[in-house]
Amino acid sequence: MTFAFAALIILVASIVQGATSFGFSLLALPLLSFFFDIKVVVPALVCFSLVLNLMILIKLKLKPDIKLLLPLVIFATLTIPIGVKALILIDEHLLKQLVSGILLMVSLLMFFGVKIYFKNKWITYSIAGIISGVLNGSVSLSGPPIVVLLSNEGVSRDDFRATLSSLFFILNIITIVMYAQGGLLINLQLYKLLYLTPIMIVGTFMGIYLGNKINEVFFKRLVLLMLMAMSIINLI
């Protein structure tokens, strides 16, 4: 029965990710944590995300804007080890709730039209990359800082999806290597969860189809609504 619930969670989360290029871990992490140890859930989600983001990039034939992507990749890569260390040493639930609370406030402001303008884009993207890397390594939540950044910048739907999927794919590879080095991939429950990969693939294709049908203005509002909803879920 536990794996039936897990399968449903993975299906819904992958549909969300396929449609918007983010949200898989935000949605799946708190729900799967009811059934599995979080030190099993986080590595599993990173493994799922690797396949999922590659599928999105290939299926949609997305080409990211290198100027957007480069600072995010550089600084996120440098800070992933900090997040991996945090996963091993600290209370990840506390970290997840703190991040979710901040994200909820920021997404509410953005939803109601409050925007923050930064003069130096490189510094802004670098800070977002740093936060994303730490969160990716610790609680598999690399998306929220980047989603907030790109939404605030008014990036188009295609650039939004291309940047997120490309960044996540690169970070997933690096994080999996570091998890392996830290002994976080040696768990029978982890491999049982990975048996649900076919369900994730089906959900991703469904999400990609839905994402292509969504109007761009509605897409941007939907992204912020989802960010708020998932922040609330992660606060519980």
How many Å is the maximal CA-CA distance in the chain? 52
Write out pLDDT tens, residues 44-75: 888 998 998 898 888 877 777 787 788 889 99
pLDDT at residue 200, rounded to an integer: 92
Whether the CB-CB separation of 92 and 43 falls below 8 Å is answered with no
Count of residues in the chain: 236
Whole-model pTM: value is 0.77
pLDDT(82) > 70: yes
Q: Which residues contact 119 (CB under 8 A, 6 or more apart)?
A: none
Better-predicted residue by pLDDT, 219 or 11: 11
Q: Rounded distance, CA 129 to CA 111, Å? A: 22
Helix (H) or strand (E) holding 133: helix 121-139
1-40 burial string, b = 16+ CB within 10 Å, else e? Answer: eeeeebbebbbbbbbbbbbbbbbbbbbbbbbbbebbebeb
pLDDT(226) > 90: no
Q: Rounded distance, CA 78 to CA 80, Å? A: 6
Poorest-confidence range of 22-36, 102-116, 130-144, 212-226? Answer: 102-116
Write out pLDDT tens, residues 137-182: 777 777 777 877 777 777 777 888 888 888 889 988 988 888 888 7
Q: Which residues contact 116 (CB under 8 A, 6 or more apart)?
A: 152
